[in-house]
Chains A and B, each alone.
Chain A
Amino acid sequence: DVKVTQSSRYLVKRTGEKVFLECVQDMDHENMFWYRQDPGLGLRLIYFSYDVKMKEKGDIPEGYSVSREKKERFSLILESASTNQTSMYLCASSSIRTVNQPQHFGDGTRLSIL
């Protein structure tokens, strides 16, 4: 089974702090994704990466950056955390070896910005 592991389940940070969310997958997937999940809004794509050192903006990239130095690891960075970034953050990965493959998700990081 695919395993996507997010480093923290819960995180509390202060406004203005730089925040790092880490994600690791063990299935050698090419694609990795960061979403935020808010009530009534569904999952919204922040950034995705289809290869090491490659990144693409999603629908809501403002206030975030990402890093993919190794294939298995994809980091989300909040450059200067703000209260409107309080949310559930989900990491996902998928393979490109065959078309139409599902994304596999981690269990999420619930981030609170005070």
Chain B
Amino acid sequence: GESVGLHLPTLSVQEGDNSIINCAYSNSASDYFIWYKQESGKGPQFIIDIRSNMDKRQGQRVTVLLNKTVKHLSLQIAATQPGDSAVYFCAALYNYGQNFVFGPGTRLSVLP
């Protein structure tokens, strides 16, 4: 079946450093990917998305990179701030509908 996974369940970074969170997906036909941020006690919040015809997309302080050859995507957060502490997970749209497969998440902790 479809699967999406993250390489690290936890990640700690110093405030001000850049963070990189990775994700791998299994279905080469997936054509749309999303990164979500989930803070404690809240639902997942959309951060950024990317379509398979792109390699890179930038938002405010965030960049998503997509490598279709190895079925890997990453989320880069520039100048990480305490408010970035949360669980981040990726989602891949698979090709028989509006449904996503979600990864288990990486907990990002920002150290003072």
- Seen from chain A, the residues whose Cβ lies within 8 Å of a Cβ on chain B are 4, 31, 33, 35, 40-43, 45, 48, 50, 58, 90, 94, 96, 100-108
Find the B residue at minimum CB distance from A6. B43
Which residues on the B side are within 8 Å of A96 (C-beta)?
98
Asked whether A108 lies within 8 Å of B43 as measured between CB atoms, the reply is: yes
Which residues on the A side are within 8 Å of B91 (C-beta)?
103
Q: Which of B31, B44, B104 contacts A90 (CB 8 A)?
A: B44
Closest chain A CB from B26 CB (angstroms)? 13
- Seen from chain B, the residues whose Cβ lies within 8 Å of a Cβ on chain A are 4, 9, 31-32, 34, 36, 41-46, 49, 51, 89, 91, 93, 98-100, 102-105
CA distance A51 to B102 in the complex (A): 23
Which residues on the B side are within 8 Å of A106 (C-beta)?
43
Q: Which of B9, B31, B102 contacts A43 (CB 8 A)?
A: B102
Which residues on the A side are within 8 Å of B89 (C-beta)?
42-43
Asked whether B102 lies within 8 Å of A42 as measured between CB atoms, the reply is: yes
Q: A42-B105, A107-B41 are in contact. Are A100 and B100 (CB under 8 A)?
A: no
Closest chain B CB from A64 CB (angstroms)? 16
Find the B residue at minimum CB distance from A44. B102
